[in-house]
Structure 1
Amino acid sequence: MDKGIIVSPIEILASDGFSFRTGISLESFNQYLLYWNHIVIPTNNIVHVGVPHEDLLVEQKIISRPKFSLRSIGGKEGSKPLIDCQMLLAKYYMDMEPGKWVLAQSGTHSYFTEDLAQSRNHIQMELANILPVPPSGTNLEDILQFKLERKDELDALWYYLDKVCLDVQKEPDRALAQRLALHDFGKVVEDSMRVTSERWRCLQLSDVKVQVSLDWKTVVGAFTAPYALDSIPNVFACAFGVAASSLKVNWEKGLVPTAPDEQRKLSYLTSVKKNLILAA
């Protein structure tokens, strides 16, 4: 199945949504281009946040820019009008094709408006140093060509990320961390870094937080504390002189995007590290 992502054209700087800045960094945009087939970025009548090669990518149906009519942005409402646009689109696409689409925000905090979100039990998986990203100056054609040539490796990365999400859903306990140490996920992370470095000598790494739906009734009492796996096998990352990929799992109740019951992944929060990693 193709993968679709609904992106907000702002970066949330505080959990209350009042501190934010407009724009999508070139590193984040490269990440979206490399790892997703379809990118939806809402725009509006007040401010249009453009992205590189926008007309060409719209023509190729890689991105779409649905337009909303807003009364105001900022002030007493903060980023709420902009996030509302994203959440309305996320509900539309998730209802239409559950499992294909996911909502994503960039920065250090997620922000979901109460009137368009739901309070739901969920697991939050924090994956560090997990996605290699081409640097900001990378040519568009290079990214799209690499994406085509290395489709199998990139698809494998997302296949096993989905599998990890499913494993966590079924058995979110401390024992799972030990099994993940030998999981194929570690190998595909390593493979993705290897093939990406073959194309680009400089890379940046991305941290990802994934909200995973949870049927709390089936797992009450199964665990009592968060756990961490600080060494997903990733020799290649270590060869760059950076910390190995790691996984932390927390479970909580809070606001998440409204989504069908069968939607496993609810949202992503991504943060691309600014420091460049030089391949050997």
Structure 2
Amino acid sequence: MTSVDALAALGWHHVYSGKVRDLFEHADHPTLMLVVASDRVSAFDHVLEPGIPSKGALLTQLSRWWFSRLAVPNHLADGPAVPAEVAERAMLVKRLDMHPIECVVRGYLTGSGWLEYQASGTVCGIALPEGLNDGDRLPEPLYTPAFKAELGEHDENITFERSVELVGLEVATALRDTSLAIFTTASQIALERGVILADTKFEFGTDPATGELTLADEVLTSDSSRYWDATLYAAGGPSRLDSFDKQIVRDWLAGHWDRTGTPPALPPEIVERTAARYRELIHRLTA
């Protein structure tokens, strides 16, 4: 019996699947949802095979840890017990009116931001000082929102002004300011544990019962964030930007796939190295 079948037998009915998470609802609990993190891994807007063992449980553990340390309303809810079949990788959450904005905060210049900076001296259209290098800390964290795309499509980077058009000035401002405040707090917490939070993304909704802006989805995980070892970063060299996330997967895929057709299966050693990085980050932050 699959986990979907087991949950259905308990009254939890599948309503949606994203790249890595599945949503369930229950007729007896209309204000709640069950978010189940799978072991699926995605890169370049594709779900890859095979998954990363225990990834769903690790991301759920880390999200719960961060939710407990952030002084902002979040979507975790009290209610019926999470079914044992998925207890390690599921969260019981409030049903929110989700905002279609992915709230990206960048503290360092890297990834797609570095590629854009090399071409135009900007990140998401925001001009930066000349002479920066890959991995450099930005003068101040940048809020670079994106419009959330449908499954299988690529999120679209947008300006703050465009986010105002989508959700209104009050909500857009709250999304920006709350995201930057969380990033500042989380960066300090991570650095105290020898880890740099280079960038991350948040999702928010409005709680229909209270009207509060509410942090949702996963938060500050290896899938939604880029973390670096602070000691290696300070020492410099090629390994300073080795991240505690699926960058291993991205790097391997970039060297073995031209982004057309179906991505190749991940080799066992890539799967295990990625799983080890996920586990190491959990240990670094929560031990």
Give the TM-score, by structure 2 length. 0.28
- TM-score, length of structure 1 as denominator length: 0.29
Q: Greater relative contact order: 1 or 2 (C-alpha under 8 angstroms, separation 6 or more)?
A: 1
